[in-house]
């Protein structure tokens, strides 16, 4: 562990005017609070906050961020409180420490619904003060560097969480070096064999070809000297995970990968950047389609650079990035460059972005994602997006993720343009709406009155904004139809009880059923989420009739006397589902769910079909259904799952494990239920349980009657 004086020296190197006294006080307070605590490795716990603070000095961050790093676990893991931190170090630092504590408590690798809500909280914390996530990223980086001391299953969980959330977030913030290291550290945990294989190939390659990086760097410097351009040249082999991802994306073997080396040229001015580009392209042949100008079209996080790929020595592809020193500072620190200090003053880098504006571009449209699936999809698209730049007919530049289509372009301009899109022209030629756009293309959108979004568009677009707008338009269109249908169903239900359907009655019913208004009530009834009979019963309880108990010996209507009946094992139909009977010689009638795949085998035998329906009323909980569950391998989880099923008045008749892994179990649970609504209740409760990663109804067409 570095000493207190070492940390102060690291800070004073870039900020001689730092509040040395306050940093020392934070060190002493943190050491006191964590005294006696140990990490999994056996080291004193305080070595971790110190390492996080040291990492942040590499980004030349302000005193408040460094002090937050020293104290970031005090409120969570010690007897320290928010009030005490605020009294000793001020409200700003207390807010930052509290923000990091809340992020630490988020379970980003939980079930999708929980994960979506927690990522939403993470983004809200970022929008309040981005320094919270900078401390959290440094915290995660140090934990990943020292992850070997954790249990294997915990390593895998943290590595997946890092790969899915923190690494792409670091990349989106412009801290590419941190993204690459987080990915590679996660890769080492999740797929050590693949990583070791790539490292072995690198060693073999170096032994056979020598120091390629040194030779190519020397070639570039020679060409720059001839052109009298002063610039620094750096080269390196790409990280193992970066190579592995490219192998997977392009389905190539290592021997066929060419651009596994990257070079960076740091120039004095923007003019020199373009001069260097000319020198490189005159000396080596440029690879078509691999040039990107992020200087004239910077990324939203402030990143500026020229990217090109050329064929170097022996035909090997070489990736080269060219930028100025100020651009390089932003490329290394990303959004964090806003807080960077140099010589005791806030660094005035013209390329650093305003964090408030940046976070608004990241979260734009997130609030419109109504369900957790859409939200997660939107987040991950935004996190992982690389960019293409296209032009409108007026010359405006539209920034889109790679793989975007003319429909994405239309919605990027305006939702109204997207909704009314009927076709598009790219570079003057009419193209299908699913065409993938490329850098520099000119796009013209053609609209028509009365055009409405199609459900197939969801599969065409890639941007979260477009997907969200299309889903909303489709919902609105369905909603109008459901409102009309619901109104008619309610009218009939009210007439059947001799009551009058009125706006006031529906408004009152909506309040009783905790719905926002009468329109939502009509829509729920029209979409079959709510029955018209239950609305009448809510207003007039005296009209409600208790459903009769159903005899399990005769649960269906449509059977002839003395004919045996049983449920098909392939689809296990439940009361409340539409069913069809198939006659079997010596077996009576077997009921299948209407959508059962097995029914297709009897299409040419209509004489065997029997029209059946379940008897109305309350059925006993005797109908078995198989549930396929994936649960985390932690103490007490199986017991909680079984208790949860029991709490919903369902009986477990059988349970068997299908797969056992260090971090999860997959099992089949046979549950006895009353009907389809009972099944939905049980599955909803299980999906809400944090330790349940997945629950589906298991149906097997191979199980013939």
Residues with active-site annotation: 76-77
Give DSSP secondary structure letters for 314-373. GG-EEEEEEEEHHHHHHHHHGGGGGG-EETTEE---TTPPPHHHHHHHHHTTGGG--SHH
Query: 276-294: b or e for each residue (b if 16 or more CB lie within 10 Å)?
Result: bbebbeebbebbeeebbbb
117 vs 124: CA distance, rounded Å: 11
The 443-447 sheet, strands edge to edge: 429-431, 421-426, 443-447
CA distance 57 to 6: 11
Q: How far is CA 125 from the centre of its chain?
A: 17
Longest Cα pair distance anywhere in the chain, in angstroms? Answer: 101
- CA neighbor of 7 nearest in space, from 27, 31, 30: 27
Measured between alpha carbons, how far is 650 from 643 in angstroms, rounded to an integer? 10
Map tokens 């590419």 to a residue.
176
Q: Give me 427's structure tokens.
A: 């570079």
Reduced to 3 states (helix: H, G, I; strand: E, B; else coil), residue 394 is coil
Alpha-carbon distance of 373 to 371, in angstroms, equals: 6
How far is residue 368 from each of residues 111, 415, 422, measured CA to CA in Å? 21, 13, 24
* Residue 539: alpha-carbon gap to chain centroid: 43
Q: Residue 521 burial by CB count (10 A; 0-12/13-18/19+): exposed, middle or buried? A: buried
For 599, other C-beta atoms within 10 Å of its C-beta total 17
**CA 138, CA 178: separation in Å to the nearest integer?**
9
How many angstroms separate the first and last alpha carbons of the chain?
68
DSSP labels for 40-88?
TTSSBTTHHHHHHHHHHHTTT--HHHHHHHHHTTHHHHSS--HHHHHHH
Residue 284 per-residue DSSP state:
S
- 558 Ramachandran zone, left/alpha/beta (phi>0; psi -120 to 50): left
Round to whole Å and give the CA distance between 178 and 167.
7
């Amino acid at each position: 562990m570095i000493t207190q004086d070492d940390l102060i020296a690291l800070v004073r190197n870039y900020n001689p005017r730092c509040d040395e006294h306050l940093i020392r006080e934070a060190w002493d307070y943190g050491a006191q609070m964590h005294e006696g605590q140990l990490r999994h490795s056996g080291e004193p716990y305080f070595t971790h906050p110190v390492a996080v603070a040291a990492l942040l000095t590499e980004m030349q961050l302000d005193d408040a961020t460094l002090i937050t790093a020293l104290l970031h676990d005090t409120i969570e893991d010690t007897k320290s409180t928010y009030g005490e931190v605020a009294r000793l170090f001020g409200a700003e630092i207390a807010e930052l420490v509290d923000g990091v504590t809340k992020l630490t408590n988020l379970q980003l690798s939980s079930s999708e619904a929980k994960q979506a809500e927690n990522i939403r909280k993470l983004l809200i914390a970022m929008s309040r003060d981005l320094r919270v996530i900078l401390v959290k990223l440094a915290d995660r980086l140090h934990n990943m560097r020292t992850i070997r001391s954790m249990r294997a299953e915990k390593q895998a969980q943290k590595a997946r969480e890092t790969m899915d959330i923190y690494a792409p977030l670091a990349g989106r913030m412009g801290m590419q070096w941190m993204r690459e290291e987080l990915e590679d550290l996660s890769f080492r945990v999740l797929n050590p064999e693949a990583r070791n294989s790539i490292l072995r190939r690198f060693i073999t390659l170096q032994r056979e070809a020598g120091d390629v990086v040194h030779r190519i760097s020397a070639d570039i410097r020679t060409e720059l000297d001839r052109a009298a351009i002063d610039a620094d040249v750096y080269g390196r082999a790409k990280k193992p995970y970066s190579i592995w991802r490219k192998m997977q994306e392009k389905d190539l073997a290592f021997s066929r990968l060419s651009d596994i080396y990257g070079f960076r040229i740091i120039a004095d001015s923007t003019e020199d950047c373009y001069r260097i580009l000319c020198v490189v392209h005159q000396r080596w042949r440029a690879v078509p389609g691999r040039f990107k100008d992020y200087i004239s079209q910077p990324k939203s996080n402030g990143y500026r650079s020229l990217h090109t790929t050329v064929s170097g020595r022996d035909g090997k592809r070489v990736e080269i990035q060219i930028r100025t020193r100020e651009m390089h500072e932003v490329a290394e620190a990303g959004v964090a460059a806003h807080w960077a200090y140099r010589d005791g003053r806030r660094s005035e880098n013209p390329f650093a972005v305003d964090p408030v504006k940046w976070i608004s571009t990241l979260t734009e449209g997130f609030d419109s994602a109504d369900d957790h699936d859409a939200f997660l999809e939107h987040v991950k698209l935004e996190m992982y997006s690389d960019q293409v730049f296209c032009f409108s007919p007026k010359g405006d530049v539209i920034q889109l993720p790679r793989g975007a289509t003319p429909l994405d372009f239309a919605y990027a301009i305006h939702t109204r343009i997207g909704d009314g899109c009927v076709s598009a022209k790219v570079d003057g030629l009419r193209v299908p709406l699913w065409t993938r756009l490329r850098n520099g293309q000119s796009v013209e959108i053609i609209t028509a009155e009365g055009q409405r979004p199609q459900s197939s568009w969801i599969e065409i677009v890639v941007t979260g904004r477009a997907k969200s707008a299309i889903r909303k338009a489709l919902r609105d269109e369905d909603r109008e139809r459901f409102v009309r249908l619901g109104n008619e169903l309610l009218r009939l239900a009210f007439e059947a009880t001799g009551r009058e359907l009125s706006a006031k009655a529906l408004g009152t019913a909506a309040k009783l059923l905790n719905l926002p208004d009468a329109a939502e009530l009509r829509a729920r009834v029209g979409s079959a989420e709510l029955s018209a009979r239950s609305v009448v019963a809510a207003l007039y309880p005296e009209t409600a009739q208790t459903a009769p108990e159903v005899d399990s010996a005769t649960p269906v209507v449509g059977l002839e006397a003395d004919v045996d009946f049983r449920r098909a094992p392939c689809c296990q139909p439940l009361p409340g589902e539409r069913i069809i009977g198939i006659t079997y010689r010596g077996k009576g009638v077997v009921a299948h769910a209407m959508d059962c795949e097995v029914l297709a085998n009897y299409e040419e035998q209509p004489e065997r079909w029997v029209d059946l329906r379940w008897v109305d009323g309350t059925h006993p909980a005797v109908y078995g259904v198989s549930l396929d569950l994936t649960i985390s391998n932690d103490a007490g989880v199986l017991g909680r799952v079984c208790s949860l099923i029991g709490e919903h008045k369902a009986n477990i008749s059988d349970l068997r494990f299908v797969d056992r892994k260090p971090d999860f179990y997959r099992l089949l649970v046979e549950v006895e239920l009353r009907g389809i609504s009972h099944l939905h209740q049980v599955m909803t409760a299980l999906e809400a349980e944090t330790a349940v990663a997945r629950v589906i109804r298991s149906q097997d067409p191979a199980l013939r009657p």
